[in-house]
Amino acid sequence: MRLDRLITLFAAQSRSQAKEVLKAGRVSINGAVQRSGDARVQAGDLIALDGQPLDARCIRHVMLNKPAGVLTAARDRRQQTVLDLLPPAYAACGCMPVGRLDKDTEGLLLMTTDGELAHHLLSPKRHVWKCYLATVDGPLTALDAQAFEQGLELSDFTALPARMEICSSGPSCAVARVWVREGKFHQIKRMFAARGRTVTALKRLSFGPLALDETLSPGSFRELSGAEVNLLIRAAAGETEP
């Protein structure tokens, strides 16, 4: 990668600002001052701005609290995407969503540069459970929970047995936690629809062993710790229970 490009991405500088800091001799590669943006940066090089190392890691694992109204996509010409919520450096490293949340669904979205890990976490054979909080437009009963546990027949497939725990239920509204281990298009909405209910709000609370960090406001993110990444790797290797 060109040095000026790296500074733009990882130091949150504009192109003109990157040229200025280079011209001023404020950037170094492995201790040697560099004034040309044409210089090539190799893997393992230590880049510093004003003597402070830049975090130019190309391996990233992120937890995002996705807000409603944002697309789970890399880019879109007309609508905001989850990549727009992260600094440009993440997209430059190839950080991508692990699966997707519907536009109107909020909550925990994992993003990573590790495509193999993402693939394993999403594979139905790995049985990585995801937990959601769903609000529906009518009452729920023990019969609904039993139907989820047995596996619901939908128009084009049979949903795997899931778990549904009713948090509250009234004549016009109910709230439930739902655990699923697959991620078909609109799956939870369709499962409730099969029981005569419409989902009015949906939030993902957990993905495998990781729960949404409640300190993250909608639209905010943080990088996963090494321990959290290891938990995901273990979850991707085999079945975990909800």
Query: Is 151 within 8 Å of 159 (Cβ atoms)?
Result: yes
What distance in Å separates the CA atoms of residue 52 and residue 134, rounded to the nearest whole number? 46
Indicate the DSSP class of residue 74.
S
Query: Of these residues, 45, 84, 102, 213, which one is catalytic?
Result: 102
User: SS3 helix, strand, coil % of the chain, rounded to 5?
Assistant: 25, 25, 45
For CA atoms 5, 9, 11, 13, the dihedral sign is positive
Catalogue the E-assigned strands of 56-213. Answer: 61-66, 96-97, 106-112, 130-136, 163-169, 174-180, 199-207, 210-211
Determine whether 102 is an active site residue. yes
Please, which residues bridge with residue 164 across strands? 178
For residue 189, report the phi and psi dihedrals to the nearest 5 degrees: -60, -40
Strand-strand pairing, 163-169 and 210-211: unpaired
| Cβ atoms of 208 and 121 closer than 8 Å | yes
Sign for the CA dihedral angle at 66, 71, 73, 76 comes to negative
Q: Provide the annotated active-site residues.
A: 102
